[in-house]
Structure 1
């Protein structure tokens, strides 16, 4: 947790945190559709398709963490609390919202490839 002195030196702006959350959700929604295309073309069925989505969504979150959060946290040690409401929001923030887009494009491309 950040101390009062650290918050005075570099305050956390609520509007920026909300913007980061919206951006992360948009990223998850777009990549979920791309993952659906990949799962459909590969012909994945049932649990394998959902595991594909889960694995690549977590990979997307890990890439966001490595390329955006880690360089910022090296300066002040705040980590994900500085950019998001919590660390769980970074890892699972867009999983449920992107699931419908994933299933839609998964079934579309599965049907197009297998027809």
Structure 2
């Protein structure tokens, strides 16, 4: 939790946090559909398809963190995995995409699986 002095120097702006969350959500929704198409084309079934989704969604979040959040967080002198200044909660940042993009993933997965296997 930031101290009062840190908040005065670099205040947390709610509009920026909402923008960051919306940007990450849009990225995860788009990539979920792309991963669904890939899983369908590869012919993945059952647990392999779900594992494919979970691994690549976590990888996407990790890449987003590496290129967008970590450089600014480390420059500001915060912890390595501290996302509290840019997102509402760390749980939302790391696992939010698993649930928000799953419906799009499942739809495109079954669509492309049906198109390829038909």
Q: Which TM-score applies when normalising by structure 1?
A: 0.96
Correspondence 1:82 to 2:90: no
Q: Tell me, which stretches of 5 or more residues in structure 1 are unaligned? A: none
Structure 2 match to 1:108 = 111
Q: Which runs of 4+ in 1 moved over 4 A?
A: none
For the aligned residue pairs, the C-alpha RMSD in angstroms reads 0.9
**2:60 aligns to what?**
60
In structure 2, C-alpha distance between the alignment counterparts of 1:97 and 1:85, rounded to whole Å = 16
Q: Equivalent residue for 1:25?
A: 25
Q: Deviations over 1:70-108 (max 9, x none)?
A: 101112233311110121111111221111100100001
Greater per-residue helix proportion: 1
Q: Which residue of the other structure, out of 94, 97, 106, is the alignment partner of 2:97?
A: 94
Normalising by structure 2, we get a TM-score of: 0.93
What CA deviation, in whole Å up to 9, does each residue of 1:13-53 have, x standing for no partner? 00110111111111111000000001001100011101100
